[in-house]
Structure 1
Amino acid sequence: MKGYWIAHVTVHHPEKYRSYTDLAPAAFQQFNGQLLARGGRFTQLEGNEHQRNVIIEFPSFEQALNCYHSDSYQKAKVHRAGIATAQVVIVEGV
């Protein structure tokens, strides 16, 4: 079954956030991740609103998890620290 990253992000320093967005896609590609949604228009119906919503599809739950824990993603994630607040969950598809 496929795996999905679902992330809700609030960016506090947009100009610095680019260092994260420049590096992270390479990690997603390395694990065959496909961006389904990143930013874009949304309507918050329940819960806390965030500036950005991201959905990334991976061939499996394990690949999604391995991507998150990979050296390449962890190197990108360091660039997000202190400049954005993120909630990330990995879910298995049906």
Structure 2
Amino acid sequence: MAKGYWIGRVDIHNEEGYKPYSAANAAIFKKYGGRFIVRGGPFEAREGVARSRNVVIEFPDFATAKACYDSPEYQANMKIRLAHSTGEIVIVEGYDGPQP
């Protein structure tokens, strides 16, 4: 079964205000089997408009990735993120088919 992923791109406006969001995510992601594949780090924007922080979180499958986002725990925590940052999160199903 293909994995599920969150792809997040974020500009943080208030680092101190954002810290509780980051801290609370550990327990939420653990509950849904999420793990960081990309968490910040150097990057180069080769096309389009970049954000200052990029994150990719892997989940056991697409349904679990969606369930984590829709969970009461994450929805409550998301309010902190929205108050202190601007960004996008896309939930996508991984590809589990043949490769070139």
- Size of the aligned set, in residue pairs, is 94
Alignment of 1:13-32 (within 5 A): 13-32=14-33
Q: Which runs of 5+ in 2 are unaligned?
A: 96-100
- Displacement, 1:74? 1.0
Identify the range of structure 1 (74-83 vs 61-70) with the bigger mean alpha-carbon deviation. Answer: 74-83
CA distance in 1, matches of 2:73, 2:27: 8
CA RMSD of aligned residues (A): 0.8
Aligned residues: percent identity?
Answer: 43
> Could you state the TM-score of these two structures normalised by the residue count of structure 2?
0.90
Name the larger-Rg structure. Answer: 2
Q: Secondary structure at the match of 1:80?
A: helix
Aligned partner of 2:44: which letter?
A: T
Moved runs in structure 1, 4+ residues, more than 2 A? none
Structure 2 counterpart of 1:53: 54
Matched, 1:41 2:47: no
Question: What are the superposed Cα offsets for residues 10-56 of structure 1, whole Å, 9 maximum, x if unpaired?
Answer: 00011111011011221111100011111111111111110100000
- Displacement, 1:80? 1.0
> Could you state the TM-score of these two structures normalised by the residue count of structure 1?
0.95
Q: Which runs of 5+ in 1 are unaligned?
A: none
CA distance in 2, matches of 1:68, 1:2: 15
Q: Secondary structure at the match of 1:6?
A: strand
CA distance in 2, matches of 1:59, 1:23: 20
CA distance in 2, matches of 1:46, 1:10: 17
CA distance in 2, matches of 1:90, 1:35: 14
